[in-house]
Amino acid sequence: MGARTGTTVASGRVAFRTAIALALLTISAGSLGCDHDTTVLETHPLDVTGATNATLRSFYLTMSDGVRIAVDVSVPTNHPSGVLLPTILEMTRYWRRRSAEPSYHILRALQRGFVWIAIDERGTGASFGEWQEPLSDRALQDGREIIDWILAQPWSNGRVGATGVSYPGMAAQQLAAYGHPALKAIVPMSDTYDQYEDLIFPGGVFNEAFMQGWGDVVFAMDRNESISVNGESFRQVPVDADPSGELLAEAIGEHAGNLDAFMDVQAIEFRDDLSISGFSLDHFSTHSVAGELDESGVAVYQWGSWLDGGSADGVIRAFMESTGPRRATLGAWTHDLSSNSSLRDGGRWNSIPSDDLQWEEALNFFDDVLRKDKPLQERILRYFTMGEGVWKATSTWPIPGTDIETWYLGVDGSLTTSAPTAAQGEDLYEVNLNSESSADPRWLGPLFADTWYSDRAARDLALLVYESEPLSDDLEVTGYPVVNLNLSSTHSDGAFFVYLEDVSPQGSVAYVTEGILRGIHRKVTEEPSAWKRPIPYHSFLAADAEPMVPGEVTELAIGMEPTSFLFRAGHRIRIAIAGHDASAFRQVPEAGTPILRVQRSSIYPSSIELPVIR
């Protein structure tokens, strides 16, 4: 696709980590309250007397096809060990460097004796070439060639790791699957495992605001337009040999033909559709190379969040579809892991644990694999239970001992464990096309790095709500809730959103999780993966699509995004049903206002199945 003639950059809250001043850490990664005698962070003593300085060089490396790739190489100096050093590689589409000073995370890696290398993916940043698809085979080949270059350097110990948040995290996994014997460990953070289901079409509904915003941002970056993050403006930095920026301007000129991502996906509706340029969303999804990654032997430590797009589903799927040792962590933080996203777990701006301790844990992992040659031996997924504030761990999913507890939609907006007995019962709901789940919903988190659901009491006034009596005891829900709705609609298609919420004795309403399903995708089929998620599987294939019959009752089986949440005694469980989320999604159907009749009779019961840990 050619260049656009104009664009509007999405409000400047681009998902970059904000650079902060270097400060030596003086606290250990202490134990948090956890089951199974585990901690979310390994208790390694911190080395606060590491490298005291570093050299930074920025230059072009010419690939085997003649394209020049911009590379930043930071090498620690005065490191007390005086031995060869491991390397951490970041392949990014978001500019390898955005300011004169490196971020805290890079500085801390250097202090601990890692070489840090950041590269602009071909066709982006200061690199030459065109970007015609995300993480193309040619781009991954560039990564292989750069690892070859690393191995030839006098400071290299011959062992390389790869990391990154979001797109660079996906690049780390794709590069590991592509294969290089020196790539030994990866730490992908907040990556997207399944582009269709976990981000761009959750439940088969187009996440239009994300794709529009992301397309606008990368369009601006490809032309070296100024990007504002938290009030600070950034521009691309040329390599050292290009102080006038002439080579940078030449590279940017080659980006004029880059793919227009938002326009390109307009041809996609079903999972097996191809974009205008001819690729499917599965083509560059990590789940498509999960087998190759598993066979590579690369040590993986994956990070995600319960509240960042479909990140948690991806982390659990990747963990369970792998066969060897693997480590994963699921928290309740924003896309950039720097802030809290759970209303019931303290302030908005403080992640649990802090992002510097998270990074310390990632460096500990790299240190074990890349410096100490300590093989990863365990399978462990650590997860944070929201509302309880406790870290726990498991080696499998679902959690052993999980019970399924069914709650039924009842008369007068009730939610009860007793199945309905009346032969008739329904609630009428006219879809509110202006309803929004949040100003900062999870589905825009990968764009703005800022998921937050404030008290939803006012928003729920526009939705169809069912609520339990106050709980007599604490109730932990960990896993994939499943909603079974029997309903009819005045239209042959629709987007159905169901929110699971926690209502405090004071009346505040906290978002827990949600499920989404487009009506034409309601057919339940066999999941093709080796590990079957404990939810109804919808293929989202064109052949399985089926219009709804207006006025006819149909069943919608909706798997919700996984969660771990403790409903406290005295709190109520709430289910809120919507037919649109104007904060992110394209309206379905495009015209008209559907009227729904939600059934709650003995013939057509509607319910939610909660995975309960007792």
Catalytic residues: 166, 308, 335
Distance of CA 409 to the CA centre of its chain: 31
Alpha carbons within 13 A on the beta-carbon side of 409: 28
Q: Which residue has the tokens 């001043």?
A: 21
Q: DSSP assignment, residue 115? A: E
Burial code of 55-92, b = ≥16 C-beta within 10 A, e = fewer? eeebebbebeeebbbbbbbbbbeebeeeeebbbbbbbb
470 vs 486: CA distance, rounded Å: 26
Three-class SS state of 345? coil
Give the type of residue at 547.
Answer: P
Question: Is the link from the previous residue into 398 a cis peptide, with omega within 30 of 0?
Answer: yes
Burial profile 351-365: b = 16 or more Cβ within 10 angstroms, e = fewer: bbbebbbbbbbbbbb
CA distance 177 to 295: 8
Does residue 389 sit in helix, strand or coil? coil
Beta bridge partners of residue 403, listed in sequence order: 612
Nearest by Cα to 446 from 570, 333, 288: 333
Type of residue numbered 270:
F
Asked whether 462 and 434 are in contact (CB, 8 A), the reply is: yes
Who's near 459: CB < 8 A, 6+ residues apart? Answer: 435, 436, 437, 438
